[in-house]
Amino acid sequence: MLIHQTDTPDQAILKVKNHLKMSATGKKHKIRFFSISSIDLETNTVSSRMVVLRKFYPDWTVRFYTDHRTNKVSDIKQNPIIALLFWSPDENLQIRMKAKAVIHHQNEVCKKEWENVTGKSQNQYSAEPRPGTILSSLDKLTYRSDKVGSKYFTVVDCKPFDLQVLQLQDTENLALKFHRENENSEWKGGWIVP
């Protein structure tokens, strides 16, 4: 259990921040994989998918990588407000965020981050045809060179403005809710009814 009844809201949010920070640096950390949800405005539907936490910054920015041709990128272009969901099974802790997503594609951020993508991982960004295409056979799926991968490689920074934390316990669950105007603002909030 990460959060306790004896914690103040400020202590609890600091514990959550440190937990996310550790998960971004530890490849075996369980909340390194998290879900993002976006809205497709054309069909008015919500899509959720798992991504990998690549970096967590002091201002709470959450970074993940994707292929620029994916539906999540087109969804974010239509509406940059997304939801993030983390689950820490060891801590029985749920972290929910609403965030504004910022797409980096073929810019300096991408070039620098691409240096961290090595070996077979580069293949993830070079599939042909584009992600989501229906295949008549797996023989139709090919992976191009790393140069092609760098063309489609995209970095997404999620800048949270709403944060909810649920700490499950044997008896009484604990919950907190925080909000801020932008990434330079302080979080304001506290305990809520779970």
pLDDT at 146: 60
pLDDT at 7: 97
60-72 residues labelled b (16+ CB within 10 A) or e (exposed): bebbbbbbbbbeb
- Which is nearest to 152 in space by CA: 190, 116, 104, 185? 104
187 falls within a domain: yes
CA-to-CA distance for 63 and 131, rounded, in angstroms?
A: 20
Amino acid at 83: A
pLDDT at 28: 79
99-121 residues labelled b (16+ CB within 10 A) or e (exposed): bbbebbeeeebbeebbeebeeee
pLDDT at 21: 94
177 falls within a domain: yes
Per-residue model confidence as pLDDT tens digits over 158-191: 999 999 999 999 889 999 999 999 888 999 999 9
48 falls within a domain: yes
Task: Write down the mean pLDDT value for the chain.
Answer: 93
CA-to-CA distance for 64 and 129, rounded, in angstroms?
A: 22
182 falls within a domain: yes
Domain count, the chain: 1
Per-residue model confidence as pLDDT tens digits over 124-157: 898 888 888 899 999 889 887 666 678 999 999 9
Per-residue model confidence as pLDDT tens digits over 81-117: 999 999 999 999 999 999 999 999 999 999 999 998 9
Per-residue model confidence as pLDDT tens digits over 39-65: 998 899 999 999 999 999 999 999 999
Residue 15 is part of a domain; what is its CATH number? Answer: 2.30.110.10
169 falls within a domain: yes
pLDDT at 30: 79
175 falls within a domain: yes
Looking at per-residue pLDDT, the higher value among 126 and 7 belongs to: 7
Q: For residue 188, what are the domain limits?
A: 9-117+153-192
Amino acid at 15: K
Looking at per-residue pLDDT, the higher value among 25 and 7 belongs to: 7
158 falls within a domain: yes
- Which is nearest to 48 in space by CA: 39, 56, 57? 39
SS (H, E, C) 114-178: HCCCCHHHHHHHCEECCCCCCCCCHHHCEECCHHHHHHHEEEEEEEEEEEEEEECCCCCCEEEEE
pLDDT at 126: 85
pLDDT at 52: 95
